[in-house]
Amino acid sequence: MSFSLATTRFDPRTFICLTLLYALTIILSSSFSITLALFLFALGLALLFQIPFCETMKKLALIDGFMLLALFSLPLTYVGGEAVSIWGLPFYLDGFWLAVSIALKANGIFLCFSALMGRMGVAEFAHALAHMKVPLSFVQILLLMVRYLDVLTLEFERLRTAMKCRGFRARSNWHSWQSLGYLCGMLFVRSLERAEQILIAMKCRGFQGTYPLLHHFHFSLRDIKFAFLFIIGLVVFICSGTYFPELFMKEGFPL
């Protein structure tokens, strides 16, 4: 192609549907070789769309931090299959490969999401959901939540600063827990007051309960071509993991 996929504009509904298709495919995969093939497919998408490497690695590190719990617990708790003794504890190989499969699925979904939807803004994402006939109440809640999350964060920081100016230091005692409870209560009260002010301001600007959709998305030939190539690539990688597992597996790996 003579253009870069990282800068070409597509219909966002195309990326949302393809991301859901990939997520469902890799989640429903019960074969380790197919899961590994689909992970490599997502890695190829990430390279194709030129997602930021350092930022992506930091986010993947947070995800894999939770996956480490599965890697350590499943081999010891998953009963079945061959087991080896490590420090006197039974270490089940099937449980280990199950944990690795879960980690590959989580990383693959994140890479696919980052590649296809990483550059999509929240407003654009909500706009696309509205065009996909998602309930408007859900779309409005999503927009308001993202828009005013920073407002609540600033309000929380103001309350924390006020507590610190009064000499509060968090400790493991009754006074600290009681003060933190008051902090949460005041945050709810301030949030309610701010929400009422925002609602009044929106009504003064003509808000009638819905956001008008001024711009409408349209599928183009570019979207159809990309969706077709995406599905073909997905099928090819699934078939590779199914019929040619030796391309992805080493001897002793579960198929």
User: If you write DSSP's letter for every residue of 112-135 in order, what string do you get?
Assistant: HHHHHHTT--HHHHHHHHHHTT--
pLDDT tops 50 at residue 251:
no
pTM: 0.73
pLDDT tops 80 at residue 69:
no
Q: Say how far apart CA 229 and CA 220 lie, in whole Å.
A: 15
pLDDT for 7:
47
Count of residues in the chain: 255
Q: Indicate the average pLDDT of the chain.
A: 80
Scanning the structure block, which residue is given the tokens 């003064």? 204
In which band, very low, low, confident or very high, does the pLDDT at 21 lie, cut at 50, 70 and 90? very high
pLDDT for 2:
37
How many CB atoms are closer than 10 A to CB 90? 14
SS3 39: helix
pLDDT for 231:
92
Q: What percent of the chain has pLDDT over 70?
A: 84
